[in-house]
Amino acid sequence: MSEEIAVIEGDGIGQEVIPAAVEVLDAIAETDASVGPFEYVAADAGDAVAAETGEALPDETYELAANADATLFGAAGETAADVILPLREAVGSFVNVRPARAYPGVDAVRPETDVVFLRENTEGVYAGHEDRLSDDLSTLTRVVTSTGSRRLAEYACEFVADGRGPDHRDGFTVAHKANVMRETDGRFREEVLAVADEHGIEADEELMDAFATKLPLDPSQYGVVVCPNLAGDVLSDLAAGLVGGLGLLPSANVGADNGLFEPVHGSAPDIAGEGVANPTAAILSAAMLLEHLGYAEAADRVRDSVESVLADGPRTGDLGGSATTAEMTDAIVDGL
Ligand code: ATP
Ligand code: MG
């Protein structure tokens, strides 16, 4: 039986970097008999399809993502919120996995950075109800459940136990603001630490504001970081700034039995159509997809090849080189 991968290129450079990622998946499936076979099913989403049909996320795309084994997604321009939020829901994603890692050969503010954020993906302020109560007053209700907090923590424990966290740190750190939001972050903190304890996983904690100072000063203290939704959004962007280059950062939205894998960058309209986009973030997202499907060794092969190309291979303009997307992709495929 083949595994079905939904491929949603979307807008702008999504149409350039997602085919590069598929090329890498193909090369892996061809050279490793234990991987695949994969059946790719393409679907539309984003500005272009919205302009044609009035719908940024056609029903058939939503259904495809909901039923596929995994989805590879590029980017949507103006319609990003109308596309990505329902797609995350389609795959039932409860955790957003965002590694931020500096690579030898790439300029970074903090070259020793190697952290993975596990961000709660369904609750917090993003699930809250916002109300405009009067001309003067607006409010937001924040949602935290024990179920959601424990589900994230169970994932974090498994992630750490499987050795998927950075090598330099055991266990994980939970970042929160339970000293102020005693009910919501209090519950989150308590449940996450309790689950870690039940699994015998080492867990320490940081107040998220202190963490925002300590991370850039010394990122080597941290490995896996577990956060509520908004905090994870902000803090993982902070970490992205430390490693330099939007073109490098992959992400995974993981659900119970499928997942959506996407580069952190957007559609980059300023360089779209020129064949010069950095394919690394999309290719590393494909590596996360492989890992999610249980092909950990294949995922490592992809990462190793990316790493050696970043160290001394052809690179795109955003990394100071002059290679095209195709040239950099070819080098990564050759390195497999
Ligand atoms: P969107 O609205 O789709 O997010 P954007 O204008 O915010 O589009 P981003 O994709 O977020 O653009 O990118 C921000 C900047 O980083 C742009 O200048 C873009 O060219 C650059 N950039 C992003 N991704 C890449 C990439 N893969 N390769 C090279 N440059 C990139
Ligand atoms: Mg953007």
- Kindly state the average pLDDT of the residues 162-181: 95
pLDDT of residue 245 exceeding 80, the answer is no
Query: What residue segments make up the domains of the chain, in order of their start?
Result: 1-95+250-335, 109-242
Which among 73, 106, 246, 280 is the best mutation to test ligand 1's pocket, defined by most ligand atoms within 8 Å of the CB? Answer: 246
User: pLDDT of 202-235, one tens digit each?
Assistant: 999 999 999 999 999 999 999 999 999 999 989 9
Any idea which ligand is nearest the CA of 78?
A: 1
Minimal-distance CA residue to ligand 1 atom 15: 268
CB proximity list for 79: less than 8 A, separation 6 or greater: 45, 46, 47, 50, 56, 57
CATH superfamily of 109-242: Isopropylmalate Dehydrogenase (3.40.718.10)
**Residue that has been written with the tokens 């630490």 in this structure:** 193
Q: Tell me the percentage of the chain whose pLDDT exceeds 70.
A: 100
The answer to whether the CB of 224 falls within 8 A of the CB of 173 is yes
- Report which ligand 1 atom has the smallest distance to the Cα of 266: 10
Neighbours of ion ligand 2 (CB under 5 A): 266
Rounded distance between C-alpha atoms, residue 118 and residue 232, angstroms: 7
Decide if pLDDT at 285 tops 90.
yes
Asked if pLDDT for residue 86 goes beyond 80, the answer is yes
Q: What residues does ligand 1 touch, defined as CB less than 6 Å away?
A: 13, 17, 75, 77, 246-247, 265-271, 277-278, 281, 316, 318
ipTM value greater than 0.90: yes
Mean pLDDT over all residues of the chain? Answer: 95
Tens digit of each residue's pLDDT (9 = 90 or more) over 93-119 = 999 999 999 999 999 999 999 999 999
If one counts every other C-beta atom within 10 angstroms of the C-beta of residue 37, the result is 11
Residues composing the chain: 336
**Range list of β-strands (E), the chain:** 3-10, 38-42, 70-75, 95-101, 114-120, 130-132, 138-140, 172-176, 203-207, 224-227, 250-254, 259-263
Q: Which CATH class is domain 1-95+250-335?
A: alpha beta
Looking at all shown ligands, the one closest to residue 265's CA atom is 1
Query: Ligand 2 centroid vs 47 CA: distance in angstroms?
Result: 14
Give the tens place of pLDDT for each residue, 119-154: 999 998 887 789 999 999 999 999 999 999 999 999
Look at residue 197 and tell me whether its pLDDT is greater than 80. Answer: yes
Task: Give the DSSP per-residue string, 52-83.
Answer: HHS-SS-HHHHHHHHHSSEEEEEE-STTHHHH
Residue to mutate (ligand 1; options 265, 285, 319; most atoms within 8 A of CB): 265
Please give the Cα distance from 253 to 260 (Å, whole number).
Answer: 5
**1-95+250-335 with 109-242: one CATH topology?**
yes
